[in-house]
Structure 1
Amino acid sequence: MERSDIYILCIEDEQEVLDAVVRDLEQLEEQFPIETANTAEEGRKIIEKLLNDGMKIGLILCDHILPGDNGVELLIELHKDERTHPARKVLLTGQAGLDDTVKALNEARLHHYIAKPWKKEELLRVSVDLLTDYVISNEEDLLPYMKSLDAGKISEAIRTRRNVSDS
């Protein structure tokens, strides 16, 4: 399987938790490189470097409580930036109160909220679903993603695109 130019970014200040997220997503890493950051500022630097290198951010998994800027504020900022706006955003936390969660949903257009502790299957399913939606919305050639993402959704998108171009 060929590695794509679409990255997964995980932002979490607790190294053990960050390692667990990466481990739970390892089957996606063959196609989608995973970058990690321990702070919002480090996340911004990684995003800037990837974008400057012509890469894309397909999925951002972010903790709420981080040193410095919190995860909700970072996700709102990334939503407002046209370069990272298309990225699918997940708040992965055990700390966010109702107000912060609502703010993330409304202002960052959060795609999913996962509470800690999570189940590996849930994290993987959500990540596959969101990456599938990302590639369908942002990529021309969907075939390379059939094996690692939701083949049914991708097949349907390919059929729909053919029907539109045939008419």
Structure 2
Amino acid sequence: MERIAIVCIDDEREVLDALVRDLEDFASYFRIEPCESAADAEQVIEDLIREGWTPGLVLADHLMPGTSGVDFLIALNSRPETRAARKILVTAQAGLEDTVRAVNRADLDYYVRKPWKKSELHKVVRRFLTDFVLENSSDPLAFVPVLDAPRLFEGFRDRGAPAPS
């Protein structure tokens, strides 16, 4: 099974802890990396790649000291080794201009407004991790217990391989 990571970025420790806690259901299949800044996330992603992990999903707050979440996601999208990662902005503070910039320049996949509901967050994360796995994993069925099983089976079938019975 591929080694895929979820990177969470928020400068408020309580919010970051809540985000990581709400993603615990995914932890047996995905490495979850909390980061308190864009600079921290940049280093974590470099380390992940060096260790053979693929950043599959990045959830970023927008307003943070130093580099904003939108600017971080734009930079992430410009790198070939991280371009495929799904990008979700988790914030209550991004204005329309920043959000449009994130969509147009970072290929933003989704916007989650703070405070989020755990069920909504799970639905969004499951959807975009399923997309990532279908496009980037050689063994998408390994993720059936935690992701969207019908879509994984359909994607596996569409590759020309019979689905296991």
Match for 2:52 among 51, 54, 63?
A: 54
Cα deviations across residues 9-65 of structure 1 (Å, max 9, x unaligned)? 000000110111111111001110100110100000000000111110000000001
Q: Determine whether 1:145 maps to 2:151.
A: no
For residues 156 and 71 of structure 2, the distance between their equivalents in structure 1, rounded to whole angstroms, comes to 36
Match for 1:106 among 104, 107, 114?
A: 104
1:126 shift after superposition: 0.3
Q: Determine whether 1:130 maps to 2:128.
A: yes
Q: Secondary structure at the match of 1:78?
A: helix
Amino acid at match of 1:85: R
Q: Aligned residues, how many?
A: 162
Q: Which runs of 5+ in 2 are unaligned?
A: none
Query: Taking structure 2 as the reference length, what is the TM-score of the superposition?
Result: 0.95
Match for 2:82 among 71, 81, 84?
A: 84
For residues 90 and 5 of structure 2, the distance between their equivalents in structure 1, rounded to whole angstroms, comes to 17
Query: Taking structure 1 as the reference length, what is the TM-score of the superposition?
Result: 0.94
For residues 143 and 115 of structure 1, the distance between their equivalents in structure 2, rounded to whole angstroms, comes to 31
For residues 6 and 158 of structure 1, the distance between their equivalents in structure 2, rounded to whole angstroms, comes to 18
1:75 shift after superposition: 0.1
Q: CA RMSD in A?
A: 1.3
1:125 shift after superposition: 0.6
Identity of aligned residues (%): 47
For residues 36 and 147 of structure 1, the distance between their equivalents in structure 2, rounded to whole angstroms, comes to 23
Amino acid at match of 1:105: V
